[in-house]
Amino acid sequence: MDNKVFRLAPGGSIILPEPTSELSKRKSRLPAIASKFQDTDFSLLEVNRLLCEEVSLLVSGIRQYQRDRNSGFRIKSYSAQIRALQMLRQSANAPPIPGTFDVDGPELKFVFAEMVKILKQAAQKVLEPKALIESIMRHFRDNMVSAEADIRSDLQKLPVSESGAAGTAWRWSSIQKPTVSEQAHAAQSPDILQMLEDPNCSPSEVSSCVLREMALLIQEMADHESDPSSAYQLNSCSAGIMALRNLQRTLTCDRTDFDGPRFHFFVKRVLEVLQKSAQDALGKGNEEQVAKMMESCRDGLDAAGPKIRRELTDLRERARK
């Protein structure tokens, strides 16, 4: 059989080869596709070419077996693989959308409201009576209103390249928390699960790993394409591919950037306002109490980061429905 799987007709349409018996022993391009995703800087053009070759092989296979009454499962498997390859192509071609930082956006308002709750709870752990906590929070609200214009102005002046992560309180993971379903399928791949739990792992690294896992699951479907007893495995692979596709969407969706310098700067300024508020409420001579309260607040924010990210993910999911 000719090494060329397809050729282009004038106008760019694909001309499929006539089905031959050799297609039953087709040379899948999936191992080559999976290997491309080993590198985060993979060639999208090359991946798309290989995907087209694989789809053309499957379509030709369907044409070959469509009149064979005993090949119903094989045709079903081929069709499922084509749908999975389309998901993989869409996922691979989806460009990551840079995170934004909208001071007036609903996501930041939600996160800030959660921050205020955490700060209040943290202050209650080291200070009493209750009236003192309420006094600090009143000062905090008033001081935030007074500082809002300056904070907005400073955020606009902050260079994008400036690193604001060092020395700030909130160390978010760079990867948005996946849903329960996505996590369950990711758990089947130690590489993805490890990356999701690594705060130093970039979204592009996770994205490449997710695409590679999708290709491997399609390869698993291909390995059992002629075995009717593998129907459950075919469905399981299809479900896994859909879950990974959704995880890939999470990595490339438009979202508020809670990992960039502007958010870290925002958290830093909020803590500065809180510290001033505590000093205003407690008065001079209580520096030690203020220091303990601020330490408790920073610990509270660090501990609550993953929980709030999960809640934020749920908020985004509800907004999409």
- As a whole number of angstroms, the distance between CA 142 and CA 89 comes to 52
Confidence at residue 17, expressed as pLDDT on a 0 to 100 scale: 47
* Predicted pLDDT at 273: 92
Per-residue confidence (pLDDT) for residue 177, from 0 to 100: 47
Taking CA atoms, 90 is separated from 31, 93, 192, 283, in Å, by 19, 5, 19, 60
User: Which token pair is 166?
Assistant: 């060092």
Given this model, what pLDDT does residue 28 score?
83
How far the first Cα of the chain sits from its last, in Å, is 49
CA pair distance 258, 320, nearest whole angstrom: 20
Q: What are phi and psi of 209, to 5 degrees?
A: -65, -40
How much is the pLDDT for 86?
92
Q: How far apart are CA 36 and CA 216, in angstroms?
A: 12
Q: What confidence score (pLDDT) does residue 138 get?
A: 92
User: What integer pLDDT is reported at residue 173 of this predicted model?
Assistant: 38
Per-residue pLDDT of the chain (321 residues; tens, 9 = 90+): 444 445 555 555 555 444 443 334 567 888 889 888 888 778 889 999 999 999 998 998 888 888 888 888 989 999 999 999 999 998 888 765 555 667 777 778 888 888 898 888 888 888 878 888 899 999 999 999 999 988 888 887 775 443 333 333 344 333 344 454 555 555 456 677 677 666 666 667 778 888 888 998 998 898 888 888 888 888 888 888 888 887 777 666 555 666 667 788 888 889 999 999 999 988 888 888 899 999 888 888 888 877 777 777 677 666 655
